[in-house]
Amino acid sequence: MQYQSLPNTTLEDADVIILPIPYEKTVSGKVGTAGGPEAILGIGDDLEFYEEDAKWSPTKYMKLRVEKPVLEYNSITNVIDMLNVKSSKKLLISLGGEHSITPQITASVLDKNATILFLDAHADMRESYQGSIYSHATPTHHLLDQGHKIILVGVRSIFESEAKRIEEDENITFFSDRILQKSKAQEELLEHIKNLEGDVYLSIDMDAFNPACVAGVGTPQPGGIDWFLALDILETLFANKNIEIKGADIVELIPEASNVSQVFAAKLLQKIISFWGKSQSFDKSEMNGSQMQVEYE
């Protein structure tokens, strides 16, 4: 697999590593998220190299590499350990697959006391679900167990015990989907992100978004975050100089016939690459990125 059909650079030279993790075992709704990574990367051809918000072409300056897909759940952490991203200046972006993969990723890239910015329609905080403790319904439970703080954004479907924990656990900051319909709450969220410090990991479940924009998810919920709030969140996050982004994931996309859902996810991926690249001043570096190795027009 390739990003926007660009040649994959070596692991050593890569500024951004994209890791497909098409794992799908514990889904309880519509199936198909195993096709997520290929669909997101496949749509790349329909995106421009130029990124209109940060106003540059990130791949002119940055080298990208799409790794071989990780298929085995139990090997996710090991595979990422071997990529050596933790001690490098590279950005790792994982593409799911179901949301259960996130704690396996953070087990490799994060030390304790990081903050997880978690966009999702669901709290994903069950201790176990349908007989599995490593389910798409349990990742935030594990992330809290790993010693991290969580900011839940866009949640609009909660199990009763999850609601109680959200109220009581001081390691959880909660911006429900309903409250985020008000501009004052949006400003509070952005202010909160602006004031973050330390290591941060970004996890985006595609069901966080309005299903009118992203129909291709397994467990859709009415309501949802819109594209422009997502952009504000990402811009604010990557503009924060007091944090280090230790990785990101985009999960739970199910490719669908209209292509709209996968274009949404592909463009999210592009924004993450672009905003991170600008934050690392790649636009002031030598112009020898992946895009410079191909003819484009």
Residues that bind Mn ion (CB under 5 A): 99, 120, 124, 205
C-beta of 91 vs 208, nearer to Mn ion:
208
Query: Which tokens go with 40?
Result: 């997101």
Q: How far is the CB of 129 from Mn ion (least distance, A)?
A: 11
Closest C-alpha among 187, 189, 184 to residue 208: 189
Max Cα distance, the chain (Å): 56
Residue 232 is encoded by which pair of tokens? 């504000």
Q: Quick check: 267 and 46 in contact, CB under 8 A?
A: no
Instruction: Provide the residue type at 217 as one letter.
Output: V
The span from the CA of 214 to the CA of 217, in Å, is: 7
CA torsion 129-200-238-92 (nearest 10°) is -70
Length of the chain: 297
Closest CB 240 distance from Mn ion, rounded Å: 24
List residues bridging with 37 in a β-sheet.
none
| Of 67 and 120, CB closest to Mn ion | 120
Instruction: Give min distance, CB of 66 to Mn ion, in A.
Output: 23
Nearer to Mn ion among residue 221 and residue 274 (C-beta)? 221
Compare residues 140 and 186 and give the one whose CB is closer to Mn ion. 140
Residue 263 CB, nearest approach to Mn ion (Å): 21
- CA dist., res. 10 & res. 110, Å (int): 24
Q: Tokens representing 128?
A: 């176990």
Nearest approach in angstroms of CB 12 to Mn ion is: 33
Q: Between 51 and 205, name the residue whose CB sits nearer to Mn ion.
A: 205
Q: How far is the CB of 84 from Mn ion (least distance, A)?
A: 28
- Angle subtended by helix axes 76-83 and 102-109, to nearest 10: 30
In the complex, the smallest distance separating the C-beta of residue 120 from Mn ion, rounded to whole angstroms, is: 4
For the chain, helix, strand, coil in percent to 5 are 40, 20, 40
Of the pair 99, 141, the CB lying nearest Mn ion is at 99
Q: Which two tokens stand for residue 54?
A: 């940060």
State phi, psi for 47 to the nearest 5 degrees. -95, 150
Q: How far apart are CA 275 and CA 282, in angstroms?
A: 10
Is 15 or 120 the residue whose CB approaches Mn ion more closely? 120
**What is each CA distance from 296 to 188, 202, 290, in whole angstroms?**
42, 31, 11
Residue (124 or 199) nearer to Mn ion, CB: 124
Q: For residue 44, what is the DSSP state?
A: G
| CB 209 to Mn ion: min, Å | 12
